[in-house]
Amino acid sequence: DVKVTQSSRYLVKRTGEKVFLECVQDMDHENMFWYRQDPGLGLRLIYFSYDVKMKEKGDIPEGYSVSREKKERFSLILESASTNQTSMYLCASSSFEDRGREAFFGQGTRLTVV
Amino acid sequence: GENVEQHPSTLSVQEGDSAVIKCTYSDSASNYFPWYKQELGKRPQLIIDIRSNVGEKKDQRIAVTLNKTAKHFSLHITETQPEDSAVYFCAAIGNEKLTFGTGTRLTIIP
Q: From chain A, pick out residues whose CB is under 8 angstroms from the CB of B9.
A: 40
CB atoms within 10 A of CB B86: 21
What pLDDT is recorded for position B53?
85
Cβ-based neighbours of B87, under 8 Å, separated by 6 or more: B37, B38, B103, B104, B105, B106
State the smallest CA–CA distance between residue B42 and chain A in angstroms.
7
- E-strand spans in chain B? 4-7, 10-14, 19-25, 32-38, 45-51, 56-59, 62-67, 72-77, 86-94, 97-100, 104-109
Average pLDDT over residues A2-14: 93
pLDDT digits (tens, 9 = 90+) for A23-50: 999 999 999 999 999 998 999 999 999 9
Among candidate residues B3, B6, B42, B2, the one with its CA nearest the CA of residue B23 = B6
Nearest-angstrom CA–CA distance, B39 and A107: 12
pLDDT band per the 50, 70, 90 thresholds, residue B69: very high
Longest CA span, chain A: 44
Average pLDDT over residues B5-17: 97
- Residue A105 has its nearest CB partner, among B32, B43, B93, at B43
Asked if the model's pLDDT at residue B2 lies above 70, the reply is: yes
Taking any CB pair shorter than 8 Å as contact, residues of chain A touching chain B are 30-31, 33, 35, 40-45, 48, 50, 56, 58-59, 90, 92, 94, 96-97, 101-103, 105-108
Among candidate residues A40, A25, A20, the one with its CA nearest the CA of residue A105 = A25
Cβ-based neighbours of A84, under 8 Å, separated by 6 or more: none
Nearest-angstrom CA–CA distance, A41 and A29: 27
Q: From chain A, pick out residues whose CB is under 8 angstroms from the CB of B21.
A: none
Residue type present at position A61: P
What pLDDT is recorded for position B96?
81
Q: From chain A, pick out residues whose CB is under 8 angstroms from the CB of B52.
A: none
Average pLDDT over residues A90-112: 89
pLDDT digits (tens, 9 = 90+) for A51-84: 998 999 999 999 999 999 999 999 999 999 999 9
- Cβ within 8 Å, pair A42-B1: no
φ/ψ bin of B79: left (φ > 0), alpha (ψ from -120 to 50), beta (otherwise): left
